[in-house]
């Protein structure tokens, strides 16, 4: 039996990838006018956080299950955010006939 040395990806690569994904999400929130695109940007941010949790689970003194529990919690939170966000978008489309963030002023009477 031959012994092969498997290459592992350094944690810094995951952190850089997560930071890029997080910045793309922040850029999407700050620059987009469409509410659906803003919700997708929030999902990118939550995925960046998940990648960081899994990457640092390898380095933490705790077991990997602790980070996996946090990741499952964030996935459930993202699913709930998507449901509530899409319900708000549907209500806005029905009432205001638009999904553009500039045209939605719910605080005004």
**Residue stretches of the chain with pLDDT short of 70:** 1-7, 106-109
In sequence order, what are the residues at sequence separation of 6 or more whose Cβ sits closer than 8 angstroms to the Cβ of residue 48? Answer: 18, 19, 21, 22, 25
Residue 67 CB-density burial (10 A; 0-12 exposed, 13-18 middle, 19+ buried):
buried
Contact 35, 92 (CB under 8 A): yes
d(CA 72, CA 83): 17
Question: Structurally, what CATH architecture does the domain formed by 11-103 represent?
Answer: Orthogonal Bundle (1.10)
What pTM was computed for the model?
A: 0.75
Amino acid 22: pLDDT: 95
Residue 34 bridge partners (DSSP): 100
The predicted-structure confidence for 43-52, as pLDDT tens digits, reads as follows 999 999 888 8
Domain residue extents for the chain: 11-103
């Amino acid at each position: 039996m031959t012994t092969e040395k498997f290459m592992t990806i350094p944690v810094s690569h995951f952190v850089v990838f997560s930071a890029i994904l997080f910045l793309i999400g922040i850029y999407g929130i700050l620059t987009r006018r469409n509410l659906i695109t803003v919700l997708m940007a929030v999902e990118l941010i939550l995925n960046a956080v998940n990648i960081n949790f899994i990457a640092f689970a390898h380095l933490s003194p705790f077991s990997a299950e602790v980070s996996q529990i946090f990741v499952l919690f964030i996935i459930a939170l993202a699913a709930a955010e998507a449901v509530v966000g899409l319900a708000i978008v549907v209500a806005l489309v029905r009432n205001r006939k638009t999904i553009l963030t500039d045209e939605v002023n719910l605080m005004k009477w």
